[in-house]
């Protein structure tokens, strides 16, 4: 549901390029796979932690956290040793945008194959695995490929 999901739905026609002012982590998935509902919840949690907002965010009156607060929260949540500067970062923009591409949705199979490569795209589309691509400055890098969608307990 786009009104509550924090993950930006992406496709070939709407995909971050060199003009994007944000870095992106994009999850490639299939809707039919077991664990798809759990994946949706997990990726939405990551999107929230990173500072993504639903389309209605500007109308809620809630002030977004500064990046410094987000980084400190992530460090505490995941027990990371983060060394922040004495001041800043002050931006209220997301640390990274989180997007999703449905590889079994209409017309997206060839797009998934182009970005993921044939072998990984087959794993996503035919076996219900996921792939994750980082996009920064218009450059794509596959960072995670073909793991199961069912989260570990």
Give pLDDT < 70 ranges for the chain: 1-4, 55-62, 146-153
What pLDDT, on a 0 to 100 scale, did the predictor assign at position 27? Answer: 93
Q: Which two tokens stand for residue 107?
A: 């017309």
What pLDDT score was predicted for residue 90?
87
Which residue has tokens 């060394």?
83
The pTM assigned to this predicted structure is 0.83
What b-and-e string marks burial along 78-109, b requiring 16 or more CB atoms within 10 Å of the CB? eeeeeeeeeeeeeeeebbbbbbbbbbbeeebe
């Amino acid at each position: 549901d786009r009104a509550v999901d924090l993950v930006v739905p992406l496709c070939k026609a709407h995909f971050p390029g060199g003009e994007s002012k944000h870095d992106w982590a994009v999850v490639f998935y299939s809707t039919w796979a077991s664990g798809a509902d759990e994946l949706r919840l997990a990726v939405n949690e990551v999107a929230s932690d990173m500072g993504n907002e639903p389309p209605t965010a500007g109308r809620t009156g809630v002030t977004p956290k500064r990046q410094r607060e987000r980084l400190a929260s992530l460090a505490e949540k995941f027990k990371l040793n983060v060394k922040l500067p004495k001041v800043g970062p002050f931006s209220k923009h997301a640390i990274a945008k989180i997007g999703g591409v449905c590889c079994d949705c209409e017309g997206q199979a060839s797009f998934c194959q182009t970005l993921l490569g044939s072998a990984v795209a087959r794993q996503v589309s035919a076996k219900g695995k996921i792939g994750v691509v980082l996009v920064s400055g218009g450059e794509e890098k596959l960072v995670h490929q073909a793991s199961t969608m069912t989260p570990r307990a």
